[in-house]
Structure formats: C-alpha cells, structure tokens
Amino acid sequence: MSRTKKNIGIDVEVPKTKCTDKKCPFHGNLSVRGQIIEGTVEGTGMIQSAVVVKERRVKIPKYERYIKARSRFHAHIPKCITISKGDRVKIAECRKLSKTISFVVIGKVS
Ligand SMILES: [Zn+2]
C-alpha cells in the first residue's frame, strides 16, 4: 500500500511530485529518526544516492586557531526529489539502506 502524503515529523517542505519509491520518507515506508544533517552535495554519481559533505570548525587549543574538518555522508535520494552537485540539502538518519547508506535526502535548503 502506498500512502499519498505523510507527515515525517520534520519541518521540511513535502515534495510536490509523488513517487513510488519504497525508500522515500514521504511516499514509501521508510521512517526517519536520529540525526538531521545539513550539508553540501559533493556528487550524485551513485545510483539514486548522493555524497553529502558537512564542514565544521575544530578548535586547536594549543594554537587557539580553528581548522576545517569535514564529514562525508552517503544518502539515498528519493525519486520525488531532484538534487544536483553543489546544492545545500538536509539529510535525515534512517535505517541502513546499504553498506554505507543510512541517511536519506529530505529536501533542499534555500
Ligand atoms: Zn517520494
């Protein structure tokens, strides 16, 4: 059974287009829980998935300076969301979808 629109419990815009993706938090039966991360899309070369990079500053106490640190996340892209390289996106933690994917893209950040 496919539900038409679902409240996923996160304050994001629900995609206007419907999809039949089982691994879609809006139209499928994938539940999101845990972390929500904002990052930049580094690539969408994988099938239906993206590499999202989150940059943060880490303080080095000895020198009282900051360095850039980055974390890379693999995230599934539901069929109703289209993103491209360079976009700011929000990803939400979900169940493990593959060996390296446990996040799903839930929308763009304007
Ligand atoms: Zn969908």
Give me the domains of the chain, ranges plus CATH numbers.
Answer: 32-108 (2.40.50.1000)
Distance 75 CA to ligand 1 centre (A): 15
Distance 61 CA to ligand 1 centre (A): 45
Q: What is the mean pLDDT of residues 42-71?
A: 95
Q: What is the pLDDT of residues 70-103, one digit of tens each?
A: 999 999 999 999 999 999 999 999 999 999 999 9
Using DSSP's 3-state secondary structure scheme, residue 61 falls into coil
Q: Are strands 88-94 and 65-76 parallel, antiparallel or unpaired?
A: unpaired
pLDDT at 26: 92
Distance 56 CA to ligand 1 centre (A): 30
Q: What is the pLDDT of residues 5-54, one digit of tens each?
A: 677 788 788 888 989 999 999 999 999 999 999 999 999 998 999 999 99
Strand locations in the chain, DSSP E? Answer: 32-43, 49-60, 65-76, 88-94, 101-108
Confidence label for 4 from pLDDT (cuts 50, 70 and 90)? low
